[in-house]
Amino acid sequence: MSVIALARSKRRFTYWRVLRALYRLLLLLLVAAGSIIFIMPFAWMVSTSFKSSDEVLRFPPVWIPQTLHFENYTIPWHRLPFPTYYKNTLIVVIFNLIGTVLSSSIVAYGFARLRFRGRSWLFLLVLSTMMLPSQVTLVPTYYLFAKLGWVNSLRPLIIPVYFGSAFNIFLLRQFFMTISTELDDAAKIDGCGFFSIYWRIILPLARPALGVIAIFQFTYDWNDFFNALIYLNSPKNFTIALGLRTLQSTMLYTPMQHIMAMTLVAILPVLLVFVIAQRYFIQGIVITGIKG
């Protein structure tokens, strides 16, 4: 009796495993197929960056160049002071990562967890700052920064971040509100104040969300061309995004393959950071309901 039962359950077990393996394989194929659409621009950039000037202009485009033209990387690299651009961008990015994680999280904690008069109206005000196109506030903002003597320094790109950005505040508020209040209550009974609840409970639990805002901020600052263009004048202050744009400017004729090569070099750090960071904030635990 027990042997039969065992055999039966064993057989069922094998079916189950085959089914599961099939499901995994199907999912993997689906994900791989979908990813092709998503990596196309990147693949195209890589391919273009190695082409000869003749191949770049061919239409419809060729994907694999006949010979790899590595000089597409070395020539433009020496035309402009890229190491300086990297240094400036790094300064902005590092300061802003610290700034945004600290300031946005404390503001978000206030909006998500603490009750005070006018909270919902003030929160709407936070959101409304994102609804007015920046083009129309550009002139007065520039005037303000000029009066403060910040123009042509990295300060306009860094200091405002220390007062929290609306996007990150909203994002963190949403995450903080999903954390159960039971822990807060327990901490309160143990004599924790509001600040230690924020520091010891909310921040550690919201690590995935903090990782996301760090990645978003990093990507944004690294690619931010608009603010850099407006506030930085002298080339010694230029960031990567602005350096790339200089390369594309009409005064300094640069062929397409050089632009693509430098764009790749420019975004490589962002990719690296993403690859490393995503390990930390998104572990491979399967917790969705669709698990087999």
Partner 1 sequence: MASPFWVRQNVSVAGASTAAQAIGAARKRPRALSMRAREEIAGYLCIMPWLIGFLIFTAGAMLFSLGLVFFKTDLLTGFKWVGLGNIRKMATDPLFHKSLGVTSYYSFATVPLSLAIGLLIALGLNQNLFAQGLWRTLYYLPSVTSGIAVAMLWMWIFHPDVGLLNQALRLIGIQGPRWLYSEQWAIPAFIIMGTWGAGGNMLLYLAGLQSIPTHLYEAARIDGAGSIRCFFSITLPMLSPTIFFNLVMGIIGSFQVFTQALVMTQGGPNNATLTIMLYLYRKGFEQFQFGYASAIAWALFCIILLLTLLVFRSSALWVYYEGEVRK
Q: Which of 151, 216, 229, 246 binds partner 1 (CB under 8 A)?
A: 216
Q: Which of 229, 243, 245 lies closest to 142, judged by CA?
A: 229
- Out of 90, 91, 152, 184, the only residue in the binding site for partner 1 (CB under 8 A) is 184
Interface with partner 1 includes 246 (CB under 8 A)?
no
Q: What single letter denotes the amino acid at residue 80?
A: L
**Residue placing its CB nearer to partner 1 in the complex, 128 or 236:** 128
Among 2, 5, 38, 54, binds partner 1 (CB under 8 A): 38
Helix 2-49 × helix 256-281 angle, to 10°: 150
Sequence-distant (≥ 6) Cβ neighbours of residue 155 within 8 angstroms? 145, 148
Any residues with CB less than 8 A from the CB of 147 and at least 6 apart, and which? none
Sequence-separated (6 or more) residues with CB below 8 Å from residue 196: 187
Q: Among 92, 206, 214, 261, indicate the residue that binds partner 1 (CB under 8 A).
A: 206
The correct pick among 51, 69, 113, 258 for binding partner 1 (CB under 8 A) is: 113
- Non-local (6+) Cβ contacts of 34 within 8 A are none
Q: Is 98 in the site for partner 1 (CB under 8 A)?
A: no
Q: What is the nearest approach in angstroms of partner 1 to the Cβ of residue 7?
A: 26
Considering the complex, what minimum distance in angstroms separates the CB of residue 71 from partner 1?
20
What is the closest distance, in whole angstroms, from the C-beta atom of residue 285 to partner 1 in the complex?
A: 7
Pick from 97, 112, 154, 232 the residue near partner 1 by CB under 8 A.
Answer: 112
Total binding residues toward partner 1, as defined by CB under 8 A: 109
Encoding tokens for residue 36? 């092709």
Residue from 7, 18, 94, 271 in contact with partner 1 (CB under 8 A): 271
Q: By CB under 8 A, is residue 76 in contact with partner 1?
A: no
Inter-axis angle of helices 240-248 and 82-113, nearest 10: 130
**Site residues for partner 1, window 128-157 (CB under 8 A)?**
128-133, 135-137, 139-141, 144
Q: Among residues 119, 146, 236, 252, which is the contact residue for partner 1, using CB under 8 A?
A: 119
Nearest by Cα to 261 from 82, 72, 56: 72
For residue 9, state whether it binds partner 1 (rule: CB under 8 A). no
By CB under 8 A, name the one of 2, 14, 67, 180 that touches partner 1.
180
State which residue, 210 or 232, has the beta carbon closest to partner 1: 210
235 in contact with partner 1 (CB under 8 A) = no
| Structure-token match 């600290």, residue found | 102
Phi-psi region of 193 (alpha: psi -120 to 50; beta: other; left: phi over 0): beta
189 binds partner 1 (CB under 8 A): no
CA distance 72 to 275: 26
d(CA 123, CA 121): 5
Q: How far is the CB of 97 from partner 1 (least distance, A)?
A: 16
Please pick, from the candidates 95, 176, 231, 238, the single residue that binds partner 1 as defined by CB under 8 A: 176
Q: Which stretch binds partner 1 (CB under 8 A): 4-12, 70-78, 80-88, 120-128?
A: 120-128
Segment lying near partner 1 (by CB under 8 A), choices 2-10, 84-92, 176-184, 230-238: 176-184
- Pick from 174, 175, 169: which is nearest to 217 by CA? 169
Dihedral angle computed from the Cα positions of residues 46, 50, 51 and 57, in that order, rounded to the nearest 10 degrees = 40
CB neighbour class for 168 (10 Å; exposed up to 12, middle 13-18, buried from 19): buried
